[in-house]
Amino acid sequence: MSRQEPATEDTAAVAERVRAALGSARVAVLTGAGLSTDSGIPDYRGPDSPPREPMTYQQFVSSAAFRRHYWARNHLGWRHMGDARPNEGHRALARLEREGVLSGLITQNVDTLHQAAGSRHVIDLHGRYDRVICLTCRRVTGRAALADRLATLNPEFTAEHADVEVAPDADAAVASTEGFRVADCDSCGGILKPDIVYFGENVPKDRVERAYALVDRADALLVAGSSLTVWSGLRFVRRAARRGTPVVIVNRGPTRGDGLATLKAETGCSPLLRALSEFYAV
């Protein structure tokens, strides 16, 4: 269930300053995990987030034990991601796109909530939780189909959603994964991996170039809910700043891009974006 914070007078005043900083047209948006917390999906680096150690790409590809551990946890956690619903922030961005204010959106999230909210021009920078890729033949398949195979291989490995803590990449915290059987690609027998960019893995070049092009065409860049800790997101803020494009950051807590921002709004994304969409609708 989404949590909704009322737009206070203070929020409206901040939204007005954000609108002034962004201007009136061709705004590109970069979103991070902080935008989805109001949909019940935790982030990695928010002020109240517990320490998390996500699996790296090197661990996943080099060790069958690590792959077993990941797929067992993901088997329990991925449906929780599917149960999440867009919040006011997602819906506000979709509305701004429909009204012609946003030219496109780059998201570091893998939860597909922007698409569920109605956003059409979305670049999934880090991939999507609902797809799986074979590292050998590069065939991409739906995660739901793999879920059926894993359930058949591991009929005893089940848990209620309420019993597991789920990370932003659909990885669930499970004490033991011993005995879990992993499924290989049913086309070539290769290693299956979530179609998600892991820590230590590069974002595909063509995806980065499409995101750069979106930023280059924009008159302003809005960052919502990202600490910009990793280079994959920070690069777009630096690109915009070098070009003299205004950068507005909305995030609780400091970010690595604060020194490059035209305006920093230290507030929650959902109420601020809702108020911002109302300003543009006037």
- Mean pLDDT, rounded, for 152-156: 91
Write the CATH number for 167: 3.30.1600
* Domain assignment of residue 181, yes or no: yes
* Residues of the chain above pLDDT 90, percent: 74
**In this structure, are 101 and 70 located in the same domain?**
no
Least confident of 31-45, 77-91, 129-143, 171-185: 171-185
**In this structure, are 217 and 103 located in the same domain?**
yes
**In this structure, are 69 and 156 located in the same domain?**
yes
Write the CATH number for 223: 3.40.50.1220
**In this structure, are 157 and 263 located in the same domain?**
no
Please indicate if the annotation marks 281 as binding a ligand: no
**In this structure, are 133 and 227 located in the same domain?**
no
Q: In the 8-state DSSP scheme, what is residue 64?
A: H
Catalytic residue set? 126
Q: In this structure, is the dihedral angle defined by the CA atoms of residues 230, 210, 266 and 83, taken in order, positive or negative?
A: negative
**In this structure, are 191 and 223 located in the same domain?**
no
Q: What is the pLDDT of residue 235?
A: 98
Please indicate if the annotation marks 24 as binding a ligand: no
**In this structure, are 139 and 166 located in the same domain?**
yes
- Residue 110, classified by CB atoms within 10 Å of its CB into exposed (0-12), middle (13-18) or buried (19+), is buried
* Overall domain count for the chain: 2
Which of 196, 229, 247 is the C-terminal boundary of a domain? 196
**In this structure, are 34 and 58 located in the same domain?**
no
Please indicate if the annotation marks 85 as binding a ligand: no
* Domain assignment of residue 46, yes or no: no
Please indicate if the annotation marks 49 as binding a ligand: yes
Taking the C-alpha atoms of residue 262 and residue 253, their distance in angstroms, rounded to an integer, is: 16
pLDDT single digits (tens) 45-96: 555 545 556 789 999 999 999 999 899 888 888 878 888 999 999 999 999 9
The whole-model pTM stands at 0.87
Which of 196, 211, 237 is the C-terminal boundary of a domain? 196
Least confident of 16-25, 42-51, 100-109: 42-51
**In this structure, are 23 and 119 located in the same domain?**
yes
**In this structure, are 144 and 65 located in the same domain?**
yes
**In this structure, are 30 and 60 located in the same domain?**
no
- Tell me the one-letter amino acid at 93: L
Instruction: Provide the domain limits for residue 253.
Output: 1-41+86-126+202-282
CA 216, 204, 28 angle in degrees (round to 5)? Answer: 25
**In this structure, are 108 and 2 located in the same domain?**
yes
Please indicate if the annotation marks 163 as binding a ligand: no
Please indicate if the annotation marks 253 as binding a ligand: yes
Who contacts 38 (Cβ-Cβ below 8 Å, separation ≥6)?
A: 2, 3, 4, 5, 87, 88, 89, 268, 269, 270
Which of 196, 218, 235 is the C-terminal boundary of a domain? 196
